[in-house]
Chains A and B, each alone.
Chain A
Amino acid sequence: GAVVSQHPSRVICKSGTSVKIECRSLDFQATTMFWYRQFPKKSLMLMATSNEGSKATYEQGVEKDKFLINHASLTLSTLTVTSAHPEDSSFYICSARDGPWTTSYNEQFFGPGTRLTVL
Chain B
Amino acid sequence: LAKTTQPISMDSYEGQEVNITCSHNNIATNDYITWYQQFPSQGPRFIIQGYKTKVTNEVASLFIPADRKSSTLSLPRVSLSDTAVYYCLVGDATTDSWGKLQFGAGTQVVVTP
Residues on A facing B (Cβ under 8 Å): 1, 4, 6, 32-34, 36, 43-46, 49, 91, 93, 95-97, 100, 105-113, 115
Task: Describe A's contact surface by its main secondary structure.
Answer: strand
Separation of A110 and B106 alpha carbons in the complex (Å): 17
A92 CB to nearest B CB, Å: 10
Question: Once the chains bind, are A110 and B103 in contact (CB under 8 Å)?
Answer: no
Does B104 sit at the interface, judged by CB under 8 A? yes
Separation of A97 and B43 alpha carbons in the complex (Å): 14
- Cβ contacts B35-74/A at 8 Å (1 or 0 each): 0100001111110010000000000000000000000000
CB neighbours of A105 from chain B (8 A): 93-94
Given contacts A36-B103, A107-B46, could you give 14 more A-B pairs where the C-beta distance is less than 8 Å? Answer: A33-B99, A34-B101, A36-B101, A43-B105, A46-B101, A95-B99, A95-B101, A97-B99, A108-B101, A110-B36, A110-B44, A110-B45, A111-B43, A113-B41
CB neighbours of B93 from chain A (8 A): 105-106
Question: Once the chains bind, are B42 and A113 in contact (CB under 8 Å)?
Answer: yes
CB-contact partner of B98 in A45, A97, A110, A115, under 8 A:
A97
**Which residue of chain B lies nearest to A95 when distances are taken between CB atoms in the complex?**
B99
CB neighbours of A115 from chain B (8 A): 41
Give the number of chain B interface residues (Cβ < 8 Å): 23
Residues on B facing A (Cβ under 8 Å): 32, 34, 36, 41-46, 49, 87, 93-94, 96, 98-106
